[in-house]
């Protein structure tokens, strides 16, 4: 039984491994602004990320890395929404079991916004 619980938890963690790696990479990049909202988990009493917002400026290569990561993790998503706007912009939304990712890009060259929203941490 413990093996099943551990494997289920690790499947949730690894479901978006490419996207997680890029979010971590963004913490050190100068062309990125990050905002992190944290909430206290009532079970662990630790502050945990609830929402991460990433603004990318003048970094087309990083945007392409995110788009590649979305594609690589696509086979593990629960839901995908893709919107294309008249102004040339595109928005992708990927919902996994424990977290959702979205990217809004294409209106301006080299500019994008990425959002990471975690499910309720107090469950």
Q: pLDDT per residue over 4-37, tens digit each?
A: 333 333 444 556 889 999 999 998 888 899 999 9
Closest CA to 34 of 6, 58, 56, 19: 56
The per-residue pLDDT for 12 is: 47
* Residue whose pair of structure tokens reads 């997680």 in the numeric block: 20
% of the chain exceeding 90 in pLDDT: 60
- Sheet architecture: strand order including 112-118: 32-40, 47-56, 112-118, 99-105, 90-95, 79-84
**Token pair for residue 64?**
């392409």
Is a pLDDT exceeding 70 seen at residue 121?
A: no
**Token pair for residue 16?**
């978006």
The per-residue pLDDT for 11 is: 41
Average pLDDT over residues 60-78: 93
Closest CA to 110 of 71, 56, 48: 56
């Amino acid at each position: 039984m413990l093996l099943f619980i551990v494997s289920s938890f690790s499947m949730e963690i690894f479901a978006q491994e490419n996207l997680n790696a890029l979010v971590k990479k963004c913490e050190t990049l100068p062309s990125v602004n990050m905002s992190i909202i944290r909430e206290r988990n009532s079970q662990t009493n630790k502050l945990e990320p609830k929402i991460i917002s990433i603004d990318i400026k003048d970094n087309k290569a990083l945007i392409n890395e995110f788009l590649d990561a979305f594609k690589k993790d696509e086979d593990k998503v629960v839901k995908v929404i893709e919107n294309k706007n008249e102004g040339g912009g595109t928005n992708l939304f990927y919902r996994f079991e424990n977290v959702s990712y979205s990217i809004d890009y294409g209106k301006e060259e080299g500019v994008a916004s990425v959002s990471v929203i975690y499910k309720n941490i107090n469950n």
